[in-house]
Chains A and B, each alone.
Chain A
């Protein structure tokens, strides 16, 4: 059974760094072709793809966020970590981690975590 779950703070102050952890089970990020992505959705708005990390540790980031975003993994713990620096109220959103196998689309999503950026 594949599951993913995001954890981290619900409230972050402007200019701080947001760190979220995605803990997953039921698959391995060492499997060839496997990927985990971070996606966010501001309240009432569309999905926004943030970045991904691949089984071979390759990382691709959204062009608009690449100067502030870092994604890393710890395969021994089955975790993927997102770090977003210098946050602003516009970064307020529900953040999702999701699994993407070698073929197909995003087939499993975490439940999401609502992060509010406010002073």
Chain B
């Protein structure tokens, strides 16, 4: 299976700062990579799909980049509501899909 490794595990930042989250795949997933945000007690919310496309209603401060095995989610100018856990997810046709282990963005 494709293993997705997210780094760092925890990111401590202040509101207004820029967050850079990494997701590395053990083999190429082309651009079949999505990012989700999950807050405590809530279901995950789709932010980015196909590596760089923002989902409906997602603010422009969220952006994604990358292809192949290296991907980045950038949150420019962190808002208080952005402090959450972020997961990457690959949906290459084969091998089976998988999620990363998550990056927690916490208030410094």
Contacts and interface: CB of A to CB of B under 8 A. Distances in A.
Interface residues of A, number: 24
A31 interface: no
A39 B44 CA distance: 11
Contacts of B49: 103-105
Interface stretch (A11-19, A41-49, A72-80, A83-91): A41-49
B55 A105 contact: yes
Q: Is the interface of A mostly helix, strand, loop or mixed?
A: loop
Contacts of A112: 43
A46 B89 CA distance: 12
Q: On chain B, which size bracket covers the interface? A: 20 to 34
A106 B99 contact: no
B55 A46 contact: no
A81 B43 CA distance: 20
Interface stretch (B11-19, B20-28, B73-81, B90-98): B90-98
B96 A106 contact: no
Interface of A: 37, 39, 46-49, 51-52, 60-64, 96, 100, 103-107, 109-112
